C-alpha cells in the first residue's frame, strides 16, 4: 500500500516506522531480521531500506601496483526489501539514489521493484563516495534527486527511457523525497534549499522524510514554511536518539545539525555512557510526545542496526 494511504487510513493517529541498512556483502539476511523482530510488536506499516553508493578500494598486485576497484559494501537493497515483504507482510520502502546508477540501471531497478509489488520509493541524490570530496554524478546517471524523481514520474505516466517501451504498463509508485529542517549542507541558505524541495514536490513527490533533528521548533518551522508555500504532502520526521557521548561530535559532523544546549549539557553532565544513553532516550521520548501533539503523521526512526533504543522510545511514547 502507498505510504500516503497508510497515513490517510490512520485518520490522524501518528504511525511508527523505521529505517535500516541492507546487510554487508557476504552477511546473511538474519542480521536484518534481528533488527526488525523486536520492533514488529508496534505494527510498523512500512520499513525503509537505505541504498549505499559504491566506493573505491585499492587492490595491490604482486608487482606492487595499486589498482582502484569500485566496491559496493551493501549491495542488496532490492533483495532486502523483497525478504522483508515476504517475511513480515509490511511495505518495504527502498531508497533509490542517483550516485552509482546510469539512467538505464535506474529504470531496470524500478521495473524490478514494480514486479516485486513494491509501491513506494524514496528518491535521493545520495551521499558522495567517501573517497570523493563532493558528490560526483555517475556518467549517464542523474545528478539531482529531482532528476531521478522526474524519471519515476515519467514511468508513472507510462513514459520509459526508450520509445519502443511505450506500450509498457504505467508504474504507480508513491514517491518520497528528503527534506532538511536545518538546511542541506551544500545549500547556500535555507531559502534556496527550500526552493529545490518545493520543486521536487511540484514535480510530483508524494511525501517528505526529514533529516534527523533534536529540536522540534525546527521541524515546526519547516512544516509551517512548507504549508505557507503550498507544500501539502505529509512531512515525516526522521528521528534518532543519541546513545553515546561521541555522537555529540559525530552527528553534527555527518548530518549537519545542531544539538540543543539543554541536551548537550545533560550529556556532558553524565558520569558514564550508560547515563548518556538514558538521557538520549528520555530526550527522544519527550521529543516524540511533542511531535505527536504537533500532528506528525509518522515517527520514523533511523535504527542504524540497533533496535533496542527505538523499542524503548516507542514503549515510552505510545
Q: Could you say which of 110, 124, 152, 223 contacts ligand FAD (CB under 6 A)? A: 124
Nearer of residues 186 and 273 to ligand FAD, judged by Cβ: 186
Residue 129 near ligand FAD by CB under 6 A: no
Q: How far is CA 151 from the centre of its chain?
A: 19
Whole-angstrom Cα distance, residue 158 to residue 135? Answer: 30
Nearer of residues 39 and 121 to ligand FAD, judged by Cβ: 121
Q: Could you say which of 178, 257, 263, 298 contacts ligand FAD (CB under 6 A)? A: 178
Q: Could you say which of 95, 129, 151, 240 contacts ligand FAD (CB under 6 A)? A: 95
The CB-of-266 to ligand FAD minimum distance in angstroms stands at 26
Strands 91-97, 120-124: pairing is parallel
Cβ-contact 136, 128 below 8 angstroms: yes
Residue 211 near ligand FAD by CB under 6 A: yes
Stretch that binds ligand FAD, among 78-86, 121-129, 164-172, 242-250 (CB under 6 A): 121-129
Of the candidates 95, 307, 310, 302, the residue with the CA atom closest to the CA atom of residue 213:
302
Residue 138 near ligand FAD by CB under 6 A: no
Residue 184 near ligand FAD by CB under 6 A: yes
Nearer of residues 216 and 245 to ligand FAD, judged by Cβ: 216
Residue 187 near ligand FAD by CB under 6 A: yes
Q: Could you say which of 22, 126, 141, 280 contacts ligand FAD (CB under 6 A)? A: 126
The CB-of-299 to ligand FAD minimum distance in angstroms stands at 13
Whole-angstrom Cα distance, residue 91 to residue 81? Answer: 8
| Contact residues for 270 (Cβ-Cβ < 8 A; gap 6+) | 245, 276, 279
Of the candidates 295, 263, 299, the residue with the CA atom closest to the CA atom of residue 278:
263
Nearer of residues 126 and 307 to ligand FAD, judged by Cβ: 126
Nearer of residues 135 and 282 to ligand FAD, judged by Cβ: 135
DSSP secondary structure string, 145-209? HHHHHHHHHHHHTT--SSGGGTTSPPP--EEEEEE-TT--TTSSSHHHHHHHHHHHHHHT--EEE
Residue 144 near ligand FAD by CB under 6 A: yes
Q: Could you say which of 83, 209, 251, 276 contacts ligand FAD (CB under 6 A)? A: 209
Beta-bridge partners for 47: 18, 92
| Contact residues for 163 (Cβ-Cβ < 8 A; gap 6+) | none
The CB-of-278 to ligand FAD minimum distance in angstroms stands at 27
Angle at 181 between CA 177 and CA 185, to 5 degrees: 85
Q: Could you say which of 50, 106, 216, 287 contacts ligand FAD (CB under 6 A)? A: 50
Residue 193 near ligand FAD by CB under 6 A: yes
Cβ-contact 75, 101 below 8 angstroms: no
Whole-angstrom Cα distance, residue 87 to residue 33? Answer: 9
Interface contacts to ligand FAD, rule CB under 6 A: 50-51, 53, 95, 97, 124-127, 144-146, 178, 184, 186-187, 193, 196, 209, 211, 238
Amino acid at each position: 500500500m502507498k505510504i500516503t494511504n497508510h497515513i490517510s487510513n490512520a485518520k490522524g493517529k501518528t504511525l511508527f516506522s523505521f529505517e535500516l541498512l541492507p546487510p554487508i556483502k557476504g552477511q546473511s539476511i538474519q542480521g536484518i531480521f534481528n533488527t526488525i523482530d523486536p520492533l514488529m510488536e508496534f505494527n510498523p506499516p512500512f520499513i525503509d531500506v537505505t541504498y549505499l553508493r559504491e566506493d573505491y578500494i585499492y587492490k595491490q598486485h604482486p608487482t606492487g601496483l595499486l589498482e582502484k576497484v569500485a566496491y559496493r559494501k551493501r549491495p542488496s537493497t532490492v533483495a532486502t526489501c523483497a525478504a522483508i515483504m515476504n517475511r513480515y507482510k509490511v511495505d518495504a520502502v527502498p531508497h533509490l539514489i542517483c550516485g552509482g546508477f546510469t539512467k538505464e540501471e535506474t529504470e531496470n531497478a524500478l521495473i524490478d521493484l514494480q514486479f516485486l509489488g513494491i509501491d513506494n520509493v524514496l528518491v535521493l541524490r545520495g551521499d558522495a563516495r567517501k573517497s570523493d570530496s563532493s558528490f560526483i554524478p555517475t556518467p549517464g546517471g542523474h545528478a539531482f534527486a529531482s532528476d531521478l524523481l522526474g524519471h519515476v514520474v515519467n514511468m508513472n505516466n507510462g513514459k520509459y527511457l526508450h520509445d519502443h517501451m511505450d506500450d509498457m504498463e504505467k508504474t504507480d509508485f508513491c514517491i518520497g523525497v528528503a527534506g532538511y529542517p536545518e538546511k542541506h549542507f551544500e545549500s547556500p541558505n535555507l531559502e534556496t534549499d527550500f526552493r529545490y524541495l518545493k520543486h521536487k514536490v511540484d514535480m510530483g513527490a508524494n511525501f517528505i522524510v526529514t533529516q534527523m533533528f533534536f529540536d522540534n521548533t525546527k521541524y515546526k518551522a519547516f512544516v509551517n514554511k512548507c504549508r505557507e508555500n503550498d507544500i501539502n504532502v505529509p512531512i515525516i520526521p526522521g528521528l534518532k536518539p543519541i546513545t553515546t557521548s561521541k555522537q555529540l561530535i559525530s552527528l553534527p559532523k555527518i548530518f549537519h545539525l545542531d544539538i540543543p544546549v539543554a541536551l548537550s549539557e545533560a550529556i556532558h553532565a553524565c558520569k558514564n555512557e550508560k547515563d548518556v544513553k538514558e538521557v538520549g532516550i528520555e530526550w527522544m521520548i519527550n521529543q516524540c510526545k511533542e511531535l505527536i501533539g504537533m500532528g506528525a503523521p509518522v515517527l520514523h526512526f533511523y535504527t542504524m542496526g540497533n533496535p533496542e533504543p527505538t523499542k524503548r522510545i516507542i514503549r515510552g511514547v505510545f
